[in-house]
Amino acid sequence: MRWSQYFIPTLREDPADAEVVSHKLLLRAGLVRQLGAGIYSLLPLAQRIQLRIMQILREEMNRIGGQEFYLPAINPREIWDESGRWAVMGDNMFRLKDRKGADLCLGMTHEEVFTSIARNDLRSYKQLPQVWYQIQVKFRDEARPKSGVLRVRQFIMKDAYSFDIDYAGLDKSFEDQREAYKRIFDRCGLKYVIVEASSGAMGGSASNEFMVKTDAGEDMIATCSGCGYAANLEKATSRLQDLDDGIGLNFPAEFPTPGVRTIEDLTKFGSGTPADRQIKTLVYIVTRGGEAKPLLVLLRGDHQLHETKLSDNLAGAEARAATAEEIYSLLGANAGSLGAVGAKQKARASGKEIYIIADSALRGRRNMTTGANTDDYHIRGVEVERDIKVDQWADLRTVTSGEACPNCKSGVLGVFKALEVGHIFKLGTKYSESMGATVLTQDGKEVPIVMGSYGIGVERIMASAIELHHDADGIIWPNSIAPFDVIVTVTNMKDEMLREHGEKLYKDLQRAGLEVLLDDRDERAGVKFKDADLIGIPYRITIGKKIGDRVVELFDRRTRTSEDVKIADVVSLVQKLALAGL
């Protein structure tokens, strides 16, 4: 490609509305343009990058026996009703009607369509396992599209699905995908952490996310300094230090606490009650099958609730924080004086049934303090399992940096911001059961197919490569996904000798199988160097004054070092460098 005719609308200044680095550089380097909220056009440079990423995805899916499909992005409502997700997906789903008034949606993911094919055409264990995938556009009406192409409403996903006769088969398919994902991210030049994750709306059991540590991410992960433990904060646990509760009281005792409204207030009130000796009481309203019920969530005073952990423990019911009025009418006190001791009886008096879920860190604790459900009063000497009727124990708290690893003896957990680039799930039989995808076993028994689902966002790979690989001058593409392998910069197009050598080198490099951009623009050398740095081509060959000695300069964008190379040697040298590690 010749830069003079190629569309690379670079910008001199950082765009004002872009916050994360990848968003800024995608705009500045002329890779994308925004069309609407969470809707972007990919310009020619970006399209070249995306195609290279997709090629890597194809190669690695094919290597594990994946078969490429291409399914419709527009789906009839019926299959989404069958799986139950027409209702579950809520506002995130783009819905439309056709001319006959029939409901359709734009696919957010393709479990339903793939399962509908499987149920019609897979009949016997002999046909399994199958690994099916596609590279297809997905639509999600995200609540907060942001950060350039990191969270958009239309994006390209490689989604794969495995179909096995049993769970042992699924374990193998899952492992194959896990290995393929590692190779994909390694080849794309991304440093990543594999974490345990909550399975959320997709349903299913085991799930791993591939996370890139970056402040541009919206997830939080905990990783151990000592062993390989890593988990999304929505799933992470830690080992807590044992606390000495002393003997405690024979029964809980109420005491006045005028003006105390928060855990913090109580740590300073009177002789002070440390936060880890307090019980935090949160009130939620849980809706299941249209029926709303109050829920008390109990945590240690110094711990924070993780809402995903809570919803993962509510078997699909929706939970929301109760309003101040709802709290008062339920317990007769305001937030700040709430507690679970006697709460069930109190609510029952007004005809309400409270459910109590408590964090495991409260198990076995004695001598604790909590609100008395009367404003300005608390109760001390609470022995949790003696004085509170807990309906369900669960891991609900948010792990924080510095806590001990749950997996090894000496490791300490660090908590980091991270960006999810890929997600692999063991779905089990959720979709095959709800949609009736069964096969016959060897003994002629009809069983639901055991499924897995595996997704990677193509734009997210492109943008996270920028997050990880850039400097003050611009992007530094990993060789494998760079839009061009090498750029040939002719310092002065008016000089015939330089121009002719540039043209010849351009052709020679192409003949050697390289993707080459020839900067043949009528610009000053300084401008060309700056632009080349900005768009991040891994190698630049500069044709300048030394051409008289048949010497050119080879510049490495990553190390920012240059060396003089004989023009006769430069093609094979660049070929070797550019193709290394692909």
CB-based contact 29:148 (threshold 8 Å): no
Query: Which pairing describes strands 291-300 and 368-371: parallel, antiparallel, or unpaired?
Result: unpaired
Minimal distance in Å, beta carbon 526 to ligand ATP? 37
* Type of residue at 229: Y
- 74 residue type, one letter: I
Closest CA to 156 of 133, 173, 178: 133
The site for ligand ATP (CB under 6 A) is made up of: 109, 140, 142, 151-152, 155, 157, 420-423, 455-457, 459-460
Look up residue 391 and give its two tokens: 């309906």
Tell me the one-letter amino acid at 422: G
Cβ-based nearer residue to ligand ATP, 145 or 252: 145
Shortest CB 422 distance to ligand ATP, Å = 5
Instruction: Tell me if 37 sits within 8 A of 152, measured CB to CB.
Output: no
Q: Residue 47: is it exposed, middle or buried by C-beta count within 10 angstroms (0-12/13-18/19+)?
A: middle
Identify which of 466, 580, 510, 538 has the alpha carbon closest to the alpha carbon of residue 2: 510
Q: Choose between 378 and 423: whose C-beta lies nearer to ligand ATP.
A: 423
Q: If residue 107 lies in a helix (H) or strand (E), which one and from where to where?
A: none
CB 41, min distance to ligand ATP, A: 15
Rounded to a whole number of angstroms, the minimum distance from the CB of residue 455 to ligand ATP is 3
Residue nearest to ligand ATP (CB): 457
Q: Least separation, in Å, of the C-beta of 142 and ligand ATP?
A: 5
Q: CA torsion angle for 87, 90, 95, 97 (degrees, to 10)? A: 40
Q: Which is nearer to ligand ATP, 192 or 539 (CB)?
A: 192
Neighbours of 525 (CB within 10 A): 14
For the CB of residue 19, give the shortest distance to ligand ATP in the complex, in Å.
Answer: 16
Q: Which is nearer to ligand ATP, 37 or 253 (CB)?
A: 37
Contacts of 504 (CB under 8 A, 6+ apart): none
The nearer residue to ligand ATP, 203 or 422, going by C-beta atoms, is 422
Q: Token pair of 500, please? A: 């002719």
What is the nearest approach in angstroms of ligand ATP to the Cβ of residue 96?
Answer: 19
Nearer to ligand ATP, 74 or 137 (CB): 137
Min CB(157)–ligand ATP separation in Å = 5
Q: Which is nearer to ligand ATP, 198 or 479 (CB)?
A: 198
Q: Which is nearer to ligand ATP, 337 or 453 (CB)?
A: 453
Closest to 345 (Cα-Cα) out of 357, 356, 335: 356
